[in-house]
Structure 1
């Protein structure tokens, strides 16, 4: 990925373009590069910002989705961001939901894609065996409709991560935190416009999760993307960006 990583105080992030802010949050096994096609599509009209979530840097006792939401609040204050659109994939969507419940005054619209917060089937129901790259490859492929999206580079990144004991412990702690922190009873409090852009073939947060989100979020719209798994902005970027652009145009009105 060709974008420069900026570092200020305790924050690492990518920032491209100028204009209204799109704040993008990656998932548990995700990376800033997951949003590359979104950056390229929207940086000519928007200020696209992606903070690196400190998934592996938090004290174990405080590793959880609420702590990540507080981190995002600190980042928003540091960058003096207001009236922005917040996007989250997978765990990033979960963090976004917690954030907008606490700070709705900062956010004009919310986009969720493959978001946790209701139900998820992380790693296909089992955690990768650290010694087996083939097993990791299968599980990364499981994330997508088209296994070819799981490039060697992507598989190697995940394999490296889960062979780091400290990272594994925090991944498991974060995953358990996400499962415990079910959002179903709180979603009706979110009244801002929400776009749900979902892969029809998502096996980690399957289609019924998107339907439940759409029922519980009172001001939401749901868009399906065919032949697409858990990360639509990576697997079907043209379709994803089309729906995102439509939603952003509505927010301008």
Structure 2
């Protein structure tokens, strides 16, 4: 198989967007993978090898996460991130596109489908964020304080990568050094914390039921039965509001479905897309 892998960055809207492009020699369909909050393309490491057997696959780090830019001038709202990804897709002239979004990445995928339904053939939502309101006003106002990013850094350091992984994974025995290091690396440089401060300031309400009901893009929702981050009730509500959707619930699974159940997730995605 003469498939090729490309990694690189493209400057979009004044910020670098890191991507990994796995080209399939015969596939005509492309899957765009969008990770969740405080994550990166690393979270798809077990799913990508399966998907690239049948599809062109592109995984991105949306700003300010992973290896993407952390500009202090970029607006880290859902809409601007979504429009930046749309510009990225248009820059690469990608056709026959479907989007797979995990957690916050699912909300960004929905935003893209809402803004540009002509661009997206199908959407797969893995434990997608849904119905969140923007941060409370006192916190938004506090984000303008000169050293607020140090509070953000201290808060994340206090919670810790291990504590977060225990919260997102149902079977804690799968947490090893490789997983710990993979989720820790993006936070070893301090430039992410001012950018996260801007995200606290800029992140708007998530799509409400009125806007969700406008989306006609076929959607597959895959949820972990024991998701403690975005509970199953959110998936059931999304199933009601997305008119062209189906919901699959995975037993003995938490929030991090691409890591916990890559084989079964791949099976359902393939059935949905082919």
TM-score with structure 1 setting the length: 0.84
In structure 2, the residue corresponding to 1:75 is in which secondary structure? helix
The match for 1:33 among 27, 37, 42 is 42
1:82 to 78, 89, 95: 95
SS class of match (2:268): helix
Match of 2:125 in 1: 112
1:34-66 deviations in Å (ceiling 9; x for gaps): 212322112122101112212152335612222
For 1:8 and 1:174, the matched residues in 2 are separated by 21
Q: Is the 8 A contact 2:225 2:250 kept in 1?
A: yes
Unaligned stretches of 5+ in structure 1? 121-126
Distance 1:53 1:5, change over 3 A: farther
Check the 8 A contact 1:111/1:194 in 2, yes or no.
yes
Find the partner of 1:221 among 246, 262, 271: 246
Cα 1:161–1:36 change in 2 (3 A) is: closer
Q: What is the CA distance between 1:182 and its match in structure 2?
A: 4.1
Query: Taking structure 1 as reference, are residues 104 and 174 closer, same or farther at Cα in structure 2, changes over 3 Å only?
Result: same
Structure 2 portions without partners, runs of 5+:
12-16, 134-151
CA 1:161–1:8: 2 relative to 1, 3 Å: closer
Whole-angstrom distance in 2 between the partners of 1:116 and 1:149 = 24
The structure 1 residue matched to 2:114, chosen from 91, 101, 104, is 101
Q: Contact 1:117–1:178 at 8 Å: present in 2 too?
A: no
Checking the alignment, whether the CA contact within 8 Å between 1:65 and 1:174 is kept in structure 2 is no
Q: Any conservation in 2 of the 1:137–1:155 contact (CA below 8 Å)?
A: yes
Q: Which shows bigger deviation, 205-214 or 59-68?
A: 59-68
Residue 53 of structure 2: which of 39, 44, 61 is its match? 44
Superposed CA offset, 1:200-221 (max 9, x none): 1110100001001001000000
Say what the alpha-carbon RMSD is for the aligned residues.
2.5
Q: Give the Cα–Cα distance (whole angstroms) in 2 for the partners of residues 37 and 157 of structure 1.
A: 13
Length, aligned pairs only: 240
In 1, Cα distance between equivalents of 2:173 and 2:129:
24
Once the two structures are TM-superposed, the CA of residue 184 in structure 1 deviates from its matched residue by: 2.9
Q: For the residues of structure 2 that align with 1:193 and 1:228, how far apart are their CA atoms?
A: 24
**What is the alpha-carbon distance in structure 1 between the residues aligned to residue 108 and residue 206 of structure 2?**
10
Q: Cα 1:60–1:226, aligned 2, differ >3 Å: closer, same or farther?
A: farther
Distance of aligned partners of 1:202 and 1:21 in 2 relative to their CA distance in 1, 3 Å threshold: same
* Greater share of helix: 1
